[in-house]
Amino acid sequence: MNGVGNAKPVHLAVYDTWADWETGHATAYLARAGREIRTVGPTREPVTSIGGLRVQPACALDDVRPSDSSLLILPGADLWDTSDDLAPFARKAREFLDAGVAVAAICGATAGLAREGLLDDREHTSAVSFYLAATGYGGGARYVDADAVTDGALITAGPTEPVAFAREIFRLLGVYEGEVLDAWYRLFHDSDPQAYAVLQEAAAR
C-alpha cells in the first residue's frame, strides 16, 4: 500500500435512490488506506439510498471544486434513468475531467456521462452496450465489453462489478499496486484464500 501523505479527499456522490452496494468496496478500503471520504449531495439535505440508508451529505455539489479533490465517485441510481435530476452531477464530472481530476462512474451513472457526451471519445463500459446506446450518445464504437475500464482519468463499470470498480480506483490513485492489488481483487472477487495470505504478508511489512 502506498502512503497517502497529504492526498486530497475522495468525493462520493450521494443522491436519492443511489445504489449503496456499488461503491462500498471502494470507499471502505480507501478509508482503511487513510483517504478521507466526503459525501456530496445535490444540497446538504439528507438523501436516501435504494437500500433505505439515509445520509446527510458533507457538502453540496455546487461547493465541490476539482482542485480540492482527488476523485469524484458517481454511483448508479434510479434517478439517472427516470429524470434529469442528476444531470448536474454529470456536468460536475465534465468539470473534473477538464481539470484533469479523476472520475469513477458505475451503473446508471455511466448513462449520465453518456448523455453529457463524456463517453464519446473515451473507452468505457457499462451494464451492456445497448443500455448506453439508448441514450443516443456518440461513443458506441468506444464501448468495451469488460468488467471495468479506465481511460485516462475516467473509470467506468457495470452494476455487477463493484469489486472491479474498486480495483480500478485503487490502481488509478496508487492505493494498491502490483501483486497486492491483484491479491485484493482475487480475494474479494474470487474468494481466493491464497490471496488473503498475500495481503496479510503485505500488511505486516
The residues that are catalytic are: 107
Residue type present at position 4: V
Cβ neighbours around 134 below 10 Å, total? 11
CA distances 93 to 52, 77, 98, 178, Å, are 26, 16, 8, 28
69 phi and psi angles, rounded to 5 deg: -135, 155
Q: Which residue has the cell 474498486?
A: 166
Q: What is the DSSP letter of 61?
A: G
Three-state SS string over 73-129 comes to EECCECHHHHCCCCHHHHHHHHHHHHCCCEEEEECHHHHHHHHCCCCCCCCECCCCH
Cα–Cα distance for residue pair 148/133, rounded to 1 Å: 18
